[in-house]
Every structure is written in C-alpha cells, then in structure tokens.
Amino acid sequence: MSSSPSVGRPLRPRGKLLQEDARRHHRALLLQELFRGGPASRADLARSTGLTRVTVSDLVAELASEGLLEDLGAPAETRVGKPPTLVGLVADATHIVAVDLSPADRMSGAILNLAGEVKARHEVPLAGAKGQDAVDLLHRLAAELIELTDRPILGVGVGSPGVVDAFGTVIDAPNLGWSEQPLADGLKQALNLPVYVANDANTAVLGEHTFGEGDTDGGLMLLRVGIGVGAGLVLGGALLHGHQAAAGEIGHVVVDPDGERCACGRVGCLETLLAVPRLRQAMAEDGDALRRVGEQLGAVLAPVVGTLNLHEVVLAGPAELLDGTLREAADATIRARTMPVSGDHLVVRTSTLGDDVVLAGAAVLVLAGELGVS
C-alpha cells in the first residue's frame, strides 16, 4: 500500500483534529484502497482499512451518492457465505484538468480521469508570452480544457518550471517571466475550482510514483532531462519540498570543476553535460560521450543515493539518449561508489510514462489534494 504524498497546503491552520477530519481521512482511506487495489467488497474494505463494516457501509453509501463509487454486483467465483457485492471507483465520475508548462514553446494540457487516463488533449503555443501574458494564456488554456469534458471537474493541477512554493506561488520562473506569481490563487479565483501548482520535476515524480510501473515506495528520485535538468523526490511517501522550496535543483550542481563554463556562471554544472542539446551534440562528436556523461551523472548521484538510501532513480526524457549506455554507466558508477546496502536494491531506469509524466503528476496533485488518493 502506498502512502499519500502530502501535497498542497496544510488543511487546518494549527493541527487541531476535528471529527470532520477523521471522516475525511477515512473517506480517503477507502478511496485509496480502491484506487490501488481495484474493486472490493465492503467487508474487504473493512478488513483492509481496519474500520468496522458499519462505518465502511456508511462511507460507501456517502461516496456512492456522490457518484464516486458504484456497486459492481457479486464477483464471479463463489465461496461459502453470502456473496459480497463489489464496489469500485467510477473512473469518470469527475475529470481532472492537468497542465504542463515545462515545454519551452507551448503550454500543454489534458483532461484525465481518476484512473489517470488521458481523455482529451489541448495545447496552445507560448509564442514568447511572459509575465501577465503567460498567466492570461494559462487561464485561457484552462478554461478551454474545461470545455472539453461534460463531467464535473475535480480540480486543476499545474506543473510549472521554476521554484514553486507549497501554496502554488511561483517564486521564480525566468522562462515565463514569473516571480512571486500566485498562480494557484489566481486560477482558483478565476475558475472557482481547487487548483494545485508545483514545480514540473516535483510534479513528474508524483506522476511516476502514482502511475509508474516500479515499486516506488522506498524512496524515489526522478531526474527530468530536457533543455535543463531538474529532479523531484518522494521520500517516505511524501514529496520533498526543501528549505526554500528548491528541492531537486540539481541541474547547477557542479560535476566537473575543470569542465565547461555554464550559463549560470559556474563551471562544469550537470547541465553542461546532461541537457538534451548537449547530449545530442556530444553524441554526434564522440560515440563514447554518453558513457562518460553517465559516469559523471553517477558520480553526482552516488552521494545522494547513499545518503538517502534511495530505492529508485528514474530518468525522464528522450529515451534514445537516456536509456542505454548513459543509464547503464550511471547505474554502474553509483553501485561502484556506494556501499552494497545502498546499491544492491537500487533500480536505475527510465520512466514509462514518456512525455505525459508531468500531466499525470499534475493529476496526482489534484487526486491527492482533493481525494487523498495517490
């Protein structure tokens, strides 16, 4: 069972625990169980959650009346006793608006259902929009996305480049000309819907954690390789924010003090080696380049893997560059540079979600925040 990454702002100002909160918690428990384990009977749910059958029945009735759950009748195989009636999540009970702001040239959005399936897509060219123009463009995209479904909307999730705090304010995103931009609050006002905004790499790691293939409960780091390099981490089932909301900013960590000068002013940042344009260029010039970059990447990751005792490191980006020599070299280097206890169970792999990691993660922001599911 996967525990919910805690995303978004704390629910209550202090820490007071109302009965209402207990109710919400128990609702989330049931939804989570059905989300991960698929349809189950009320009795099953009572056993797996520890709640009594009475309470489960009550909650199921409530959730069913909201359309989130439906009775699915009795299961095929038959055992002793009264046959149970299975209940299951209605995947299309509500839809989620997800937006990925990380591409350099466009804002890309989609409608997803509760199972994380993409039901519709829509994107708008960025055309160099910055600052308020970019905000307006996002508002327009969100509104147009909402028009693409006739189902009620659970909420809006946005993965944005740059540093984003836990309240969905973009602290700093040079590419979009945003600084201290209260993106979540603005959208919430405009759309009258729950809105969650997080950094694109953080969003991506949530997507991978919830909808990816691996067993990502033991500590997961996702490295997004594109124009730049960013990472997101899920530790102990929770998204890591960091002191200044800047967790995962690994792109400008120095790998090679004798390397190339980086745009940021330092020398030998990870991005001078690992960014997609650099990789393509290097690969064209030298067949062995990917291996060397992989080794450098491994050298940066080894202290992180060892210190955090990570279970999975996932690379997200162009598979033809990442999934092969580079990944293998990184994997081998990490193992060579950490203790067996750190390296033995480590998995270094590429993401199975492709370009949709961020969209999937944006949906997870909403799922986790609104339903407590992930």
* Closest C-alpha to 262, from 253, 272, 270: 272
Residue nearer to a second copy on the CB measure, 13 or 277: 13
Give the span between the Cα atoms of 157 and 367, in whole angstroms: 9
* Closest C-alpha to 225, from 278, 289, 296: 278
Could you tell me which stretch among 17-25, 57-65, 122-130, 281-289 binds a second copy (CB under 8 A)?
17-25
* Residue appearing with tokens 């123009």: 133
Return the residue of 5, 7, 8, 26 that touches DNA, per CB under 7 A. 26
Return the residue of 132, 189, 244, 281 that touches a second copy, per CB under 8 A. 244
| Structure tokens given for 155 | 């909420």
Q: Classify burial at 192, counting beta carbons within 10 Å of its beta carbon; exposed 0-12, middle 13-18, buried 19 or more.
A: exposed
Residue nearer to a second copy on the CB measure, 109 or 343: 343
Return the residue of 98, 99, 250, 315 that touches a second copy, per CB under 8 A. 250
For the window 46-65, what string marks contact with DNA as x by the rule CB under 7 A? -----xxxxx-xxx-x----
What does 83 interact with, of DNA, a second copy, none (CB < 5 to 8 A by kind)?
Answer: DNA
Give the span between the Cα atoms of 9 and 134, in whole angstroms: 24
Cβ 246 vs Cβ 260: under 8 Å: no
Half-sphere exposure of 100 (CA within 13 A, CB side): 26
User: What is the DSSP pairing of strand 220-225 with strand 312-316?
Assistant: parallel
What does 303 interact with, of a second copy, DNA, none (CB < 5 to 8 A by kind)?
Answer: a second copy
Give the span between the Cα atoms of 273 and 296, in whole angstroms: 9
306 lies in the site for a second copy, by CB under 8 A: yes
Binding site for a second copy (CB under 8 A): 12-19, 21-22, 25-26, 29, 48-51, 163, 218-219, 221, 231, 233, 235-236, 238, 240-250, 252-254, 257, 264, 266, 300-304, 306-311, 336-339, 341-342, 345
Binding site for DNA (CB under 7 A): 16-20, 22-23, 26, 41-44, 51-55, 57-59, 61, 74, 78-85
